[in-house]
Amino acid sequence: MLLGGTDVDRRQFFAASAAVGLAALDLPDAEAITRRANRPGPVNVGMGEVTAVRTMTTTLGDAASELGGGHARHLAVRYLTLDVKRWLDGRYTEDVGRDLFAATAELVHLIGWMARDEGNVELSQRYLVHSVRLATEAGENELAATALRGLADQAIDLGHIPTAVRLAQACEERGRKLNNPKALAYYRNTLARATAADGDETTAGAMLRSAEKAMGSAPAAPGQSWASHYSHGRWAHDSGMIHAKLGDLAAAEEHLHLALDIHGLDRKRTRAIVLADLGHVQLKRGNTAQALATWNDFLDCAEGVHSVRINDGRANVAARLPSVPDSPAATELRERIAR
């Protein structure tokens, strides 16, 4: 709650470091919920309040997936620090408390994701650490593993590769305890990405194959749990970028087309990110005309989306255009980005 209040007030700023992510591995007090249950509180809390938190998280998450994390993060933070705080401070049974902590872990994770998508990595890390701890206290391995996955992903982007590998290993270890093929694929692709960044091609390849096998037995429809929303399209995108990191550009392009054309990506933000990545792979393969056409599609899809990933995509396209031979298509793309 202190972090949420600071976030709204914008009075403090934090320095990003590998230690922030590793702090999530320091497991919390397992009896925290037991001590909080059945104590005096201003309001009685039941499953209706838990359902309300989950409904709000889904609604806010859908908006952020479509339009970017910068659209509704402060709304999510205020909901956490006003409504959810009142319920956490209320009176509830141990069973309700565990569900309430789990639902709060999902909301806090979403806020961390929004902060990252808005470009505030330092803030995002701290929300994700709290999400891991809340999920662990609630006994929810999947929620904790998914938050660890977010921390590992950030550590890769920040260049803290040994930290990323350690977090991804912890994420994958928790995933083994779950009977959920989508979760297994999600976490093993995370470990594949981290080990690929670390130059460990053997482990990265093994994790890629294991993730593909898991997705092959996963249902197409999203499930109820957090990781069950890891779609075949997202798997194909992640796998494509890992193949690109490993130098297999043909496999990378195949997977990115799979994400777009076969499995589909119905969110503007997500589809735009894949299009930006696909254009980059096509350019590396020498298919300049295809890359320019793909990047034009990217700009169409990115219209109105507020996301640091989209901004990075535009910047990356602009940085690569000077090396592209002059043509009407290249000139048009430069003018569009300049506008």
Q: For tokens 């053997």, what's the residue?
A: 202
Residue 152's nearest CA partner among 21, 312, 270, 308 is 21
pLDDT for 285 equals 96
Q: DSSP of 194-262, one letter per residue?
A: HHHHTT-HHHHHHHHHHHHHHHHTS-SS--SSSGGG--HHHHHHHHHHHHHHTT-HHHHHHHHHIIIII
pLDDT for 300 equals 94
Q: Mean pLDDT per 10-residue run, the chain (339 residues)?
A: 70 52 62 71 90 94 84 89 92 94 96 92 92 92 94 93 95 89 95 97 97 92 80 94 97 96 82 96 96 96 89 93 92 91
d(CA 307, CA 121): 13
**pTM to 2 decimals?**
0.86
